[in-house]
Chains A and B, each alone.
Chain A
């Protein structure tokens, strides 16, 4: 039953050679594409455009799963829901109390800044988004969110969850967007140590639960447990968002720099609801100076960090 009437005849020797040649050509083409995509240039741009074309397929595959999730929520018992509402209301009250204190601080801070004639703090707005259920390639360190250009998202905007920074918007389609996680090996994030105000850059390692700091001086004051926050240099991330917690610091004898490993605070692998941060006012003067400083102090071995070059270092 497996013999269709129009079965194609077996390949002859010459045909085989031609096919091998074609394999070489296509293989070369694929390799060139990969190299260019890795480097981030034209091909990445083309890719950004085509994301819009494949979006309908993604949405079509997503739809039944989104519906299933919705159904699951619909079927929750009333009791469960009431419990949850009570819990959330309680949380809301504590947060509101904390917020009242913060408002006091904010007005005080504005007053002090006016006295010091310092520039205004960056204004931010948050837009809620949800991760789509679709599985992308698990090694690409990218996730899809259900907000896109139509919701006013822009490329490079930070994405956070309740605990810390997750990544930034990479490619935009109309109703969805790719988010590149901070753990991507191509991603670099300017950070500051909260305790010591030391400025440095946190690189992705390709592992979802770890970031690395490479260009630290040997005598650096850094301990496990120190919290890294965004420094605001580069102008894309507002300053002060929690990023990661230092896990280990290693000072290898004979090396020029100390290294540290940090664990991201945001739940990169488990977050379902995220916030996209839109920054309003431009970078402060101080920020621009510091950013160019940071650019000079970029390590030589940073490699083809397209994100660093495109998004972070240029203010």
Chain B
């Protein structure tokens, strides 16, 4: 029915929403703890729908994110391909975890990503991020069930429309 690699309207919508949420202004105190929206959406589509699973797609998405946020070109690309690779690698296991365990695994993924990004930040000579920066995976953990439910609903709705 749905071809695994095709871009659907719902997916584009969710990606745009993730980009918008990433750029959304937040107060300075909490902005370092901003969850990695694009990664959450990417993980969802890979895990549940088997779409957006090509590393090339993750790479392109990362570059777009770099351009939008004015980051060193390639930083988010690197972080997203690592996430995409790991999700794919443990996909079969992750899918059958109970929800809370799955959320914990997502947090581990996001935490790993923080380390990858810290490596880039450290090498490019930027300031060490504040401690709130490490809260982002935790926020991701708390948000995961909601992202999951919302995107599931979106996908279901889309499927109903198609038939």
Contact with B along A37-62 (1 / 0, CB 8 A): 11000010001001101100110110
Cβ of A175 within 8 Å of any chain B Cβ, yes or no, is no
Q: Please judge, given known A-B contacts A6-B1, A61-B20, A61-B23, whether A30 and B62 are in contact too, CB under 8 Å.
A: yes
Q: Which positions 108-146 of chain B face chain A at CB distance < 8 Å?
A: 120-121, 124-127, 129
Most buried by B among A136, A139, A185: A139
Contact of B73 with A26 in the complex, beta carbons under 8 Å: no
Contacts of A37 in B (CB 8 A): 72-74
Q: Please judge, given known A-B contacts A2-B152, A37-B73, A140-B69, whether A61 and B126 are in contact too, CB under 8 Å.
A: no
Q: Which positions 63-77 of chain B face chain A at CB distance < 8 Å?
A: 63-64, 67-75, 77
Contacts of A178 in B (CB 8 A): 70
Cβ of A196 within 8 Å of any chain B Cβ, yes or no, is no
The residue that A54 contacts in the complex, of B56, B67, B73, with Cβ under 8 A, is B67
Contacts of B77 in A (CB 8 A): 26, 29-30, 33
Cβ of A298 within 8 Å of any chain B Cβ, yes or no, is no
Contact of A26 with B55 in the complex, beta carbons under 8 Å: yes
Contacts of B67 in A (CB 8 A): 47, 50-51, 53-54
> How many chain B residues have a CB neighbour from A under 8 Å?
53
- Inter-chain CA distance A12–B152, complex, in Å, is 27
- Which of A16-24, A110-118, A153-161, A274-282 lies at the interface with chain B? A16-24
- Inter-chain CA distance A134–B92, complex, in Å, is 38
Cβ of A65 within 8 Å of any chain B Cβ, yes or no, is yes
Contact of A27 with B78 in the complex, beta carbons under 8 Å: yes
How far, in Å, is B128 (CB) from chain A's closest CB? 8
Cβ of B156 within 8 Å of any chain A Cβ, yes or no, is yes
Q: Which positions 33-86 of chain B face chain A at CB distance < 8 Å?
A: 34, 48-50, 53, 55-56, 59, 62-64, 67-75, 77-78, 81-82, 85
Contacts of A144 in B (CB 8 A): 70
Contact of B73 with A135 in the complex, beta carbons under 8 Å: no
The residue that B50 contacts in the complex, of A7, A30, A138, with Cβ under 8 A, is A7
Cβ of A31 within 8 Å of any chain B Cβ, yes or no, is yes
Contact with B along A216-260 (1 / 0, CB 8 A): 000000000000000000000000000000000000000000000
Contact with B along A121-147 (1 / 0, CB 8 A): 000000000000111111111101000
- Inter-chain CA distance A207–B129, complex, in Å, is 10
Cβ of A10 within 8 Å of any chain B Cβ, yes or no, is yes
Cβ of B2 within 8 Å of any chain A Cβ, yes or no, is yes
Q: Please judge, given known A-B contacts A19-B85, A30-B77, A269-B28, whether A140 and B71 are in contact too, CB under 8 Å.
A: yes
Cβ of A8 within 8 Å of any chain B Cβ, yes or no, is yes
Cβ of B24 within 8 Å of any chain A Cβ, yes or no, is yes
Contact with A along B1-31 (1 / 0, CB 8 A): 1111000000000000001100111101001
Contact of A134 with B129 in the complex, beta carbons under 8 Å: no
Contact of B74 with A33 in the complex, beta carbons under 8 Å: yes
How far, in Å, is B33 (CB) from chain A's closest CB? 11
Q: Please judge, given known A-B contacts A33-B73, A139-B127, whether A57 and B68 are in contact too, CB under 8 Å.
A: yes
Contacts of B73 in A (CB 8 A): 33-34, 36-37, 43, 47
A-B contact pairs, 6 of them (CB 8 A): A2-B152, A23-B85, A30-B75, A65-B25, A133-B25, A136-B70
**B residues near A, CB below 8 A?**
1-4, 19-20, 23-26, 28, 31-32, 34, 48-50, 53, 55-56, 59, 62-64, 67-75, 77-78, 81-82, 85, 88-89, 91-92, 95, 120-121, 124-127, 129, 152, 156, 159
6 extra interchain contacts, Cβ-Cβ under 8 A, other than A2-B95, A65-B25, A206-B126? A54-B68, A136-B69, A137-B69, A137-B71, A185-B126, A206-B127
List the 10 closest A-B pairs by CB distance, nearest first. Answer: A33-B74, A206-B127, A30-B78, A34-B74, A8-B50, A30-B74, A37-B73, A133-B25, A136-B70, A137-B69
